[in-house]
Amino acid sequence: MISPNDPSLASWIKVDKESDFPIQNIPFGICHTQKDSAPRPCTRIGDTVIDLRALAGLGYLSNCDVDLSIFDQPNLNAFFDCGRPSISRVRNALSVLFREGSTALKDHPDHIQKVCIPVEQTVADLPVKIGDYTDFYSSIEHATNIGKMFRDPANALLPNWKHIPVGYHGRSSSIIVSEQPIHRPKGQYKADEDTLPSFGPCRLLDFELETAFITCTPNQLGQSITTGQAPEHIVGFVLFNDWSARDIQKWEYVPLGPFLSKNFASSISPWVVTLDALEPFRVSGPEQDPPVLPYLRYTGKWHYDIGLEVLIQPEGGEPTRVSESNFKYMYWNICQQLAHHTVNGCNIQTGDMYGSGTISGADQSSLGSMMEITWRGTRPVKMSDGTERKFIQDNDTVIIRGHAVKDGVRIGFGEVKTKVLPAN
């Protein structure tokens, strides 16, 4: 067992039993306060945000064998660039410092005042400077559903799908953090009955329920990362909403795939939950048939039992849950995704982000997009205020949450929450 994951641990910081952030989590993020607008690295226990810059400045992280200047940066890239062993040492030190019975910090109220901030007094920023972003397409249920809608239902999967983790390179500059609203995108679309395309605001705006992993420890151009090496290059996960303009996407995606239908925004949760914290929730994945090529074979359990849910909140109304899914449903895992991404010698960077692809299960309640939930708008979903949704409307707020539970310990991500404003 990784020592900070011990289910018996408790913190001297108050933590509600339903919190996503017990002492066993210790995620990493970037926050600022209203008093101090400078973003700085932080962690979180319960509803308390812990300022790592202040903590390092007071000498509490001097035993972590890292350059403490990494905690005086506006993003986590320098910290994550130290590699997983260093990240683990910092997490271990924080676990010891804040666990019940530790008095090194607890006995100094003046230091606590500088270090510990109520979460409501903080504002979350993007955790990393994202150099590149790749989105995979790794749920067999989602790919099958989309194939049934747009291709031959009897041959829903394309011939390559069970042989490679399909992906595409997306737009990193438009990835935003939770609570930042987006405007409905505009573009070209063409109805089946029309001869020529039209231009205007997207009519079929959709969410995509995903997670995303973030990399550390770059490889050199020309070098590959094997499935066995992949975990040492991955820090952890965030929740990910890969917004999609379905009408624009349908018109533009042949022959090169998504463009304006995807690059207007993707939303992430602010806290990076480490692979170390998620270690207890690793599970076996589905059988891959036909067998994959040797470079995609892996050992161990590299799928994760993380429960996920999506809610839609109309303006002035209560949220309605429209999906309840699980990350463990994915066909391709993170080790296979990174190995395939780099098998041609592609060089990854610290802070790069990799979307899982839409996460859908086998039953109606676990589908990961409105395209599937309403089956192209033919099965509207009723909201708590009595209105119906085929796709996302102006002033709706989409909320994605996720957490894993085992041995009485709940490790979560908080939420990614985004309001859709009318088109500019």
Q: By CB neighbour count within 10 A (0-12 exposed, 13-18 middle, 19+ buried), where does 49 fall? A: buried
Q: Is the peptide bond before 422 cis (omega within 30 degrees of 0)?
A: no
At 396, list the tokens.
Answer: 């709706």
In whole angstroms, what is the distance from residue 185 CA to residue 69 CA? 40
262 and 243 Cβ atoms separated by less than 8 Å = yes
Alpha helices, DSSP H, located in 116-159: 140-150
CB atoms within 10 A of CB 301: 14
211 and 237 Cβ atoms separated by less than 8 Å = yes
Q: Is 142 a catalytic residue?
A: yes
Q: By CB neighbour count within 10 A (0-12 exposed, 13-18 middle, 19+ buried), where does 58 fall? A: middle
Cα distances from 260 to residues 180, 248, 251, 279, 377, in angstroms, run 20, 7, 10, 37, 21
In whole angstroms, what is the distance from residue 24 CA to residue 92 CA? 10
Q: Of these residues, 142, 233, 340, 403, which one is catalytic?
A: 142
Q: By CB neighbour count within 10 A (0-12 exposed, 13-18 middle, 19+ buried), where does 42 fall? A: buried
In whole angstroms, what is the distance from residue 217 CA to residue 340 CA? 17
Please say whether the dihedral angle defined by the alpha carbons of residues 164, 212, 265 and 410, taken in this order, is positive or negative. positive
In whole angstroms, what is the distance from residue 34 CA to residue 121 CA? 7
- Closest C-alpha among 77, 308, 266, 274 to residue 178: 266
- Closest C-alpha among 203, 140, 171 to residue 361: 140
Q: What is the rounded radius of gyration, in angstroms, for the C-alpha atoms of the chain?
A: 22
Hey, which residues are catalytic here?
Answer: 142
